[in-house]
């Protein structure tokens, strides 16, 4: 995985983002709220997408380890609260 692109951060990136007119970069969950705040203050749209898709079903979050079991034909998965 790529590291967060913020200068003072050493975390793994969890989201990719794009400023208008700039190349895509990677940011972690800890730095994302500050980046959103800067974008909002500047009046810019910040496009953000998770690096790892997450599926939410009725308030239950399923990660990448859960999804293959649910998507495999002939298999059933259970969602635990």
For 2-50, write each residue's pLDDT tens digit: 899 999 999 999 899 998 888 899 999 999 999 999 999 999 988 898 8
Same domain, 10 and 24: yes
Question: pTM, whole model, 2 decimals?
Answer: 0.61
Same domain, 17 and 42: yes
Q: How many domains does the chain have?
A: 2
Same domain, 57 and 43: no
For residues 72 and 33, the model is more confident at 33
Q: Give the domain range for residue 26.
A: 1-50
Host H or E run for residue 42: helix 32-42
Give me the long-range contacts of 29-37 (CB less than 8 A, separation at least 24).
30/4, 31/4, 31/6, 35/6
Q: Is residue 5 exposed (0-12), middle (13-18) or buried (19+ Cβ within 10 Å)?
A: middle
Same domain, 46 and 59: no
Same domain, 58 and 46: no
- Locus of tokens 């990136």: 13
Same domain, 45 and 57: no
Same domain, 40 and 72: no
């Amino acid at each position: 995985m790529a590291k967060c692109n913020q200068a003072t951060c050493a975390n793994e990136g969890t989201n990719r983002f794009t400023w208008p007119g700039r190349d895509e970069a990677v940011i972690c969950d800890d730095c994302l709220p500050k980046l959103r705040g800067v974008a909002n203050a500047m009046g810019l749209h910040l496009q953000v997408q998770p690096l790892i898709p997450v599926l939410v079903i009725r308030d239950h979050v399923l990660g990448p380890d859960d999804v293959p079991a649910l998507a495999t034909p002939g298999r059933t998965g259970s969602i635990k609260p």
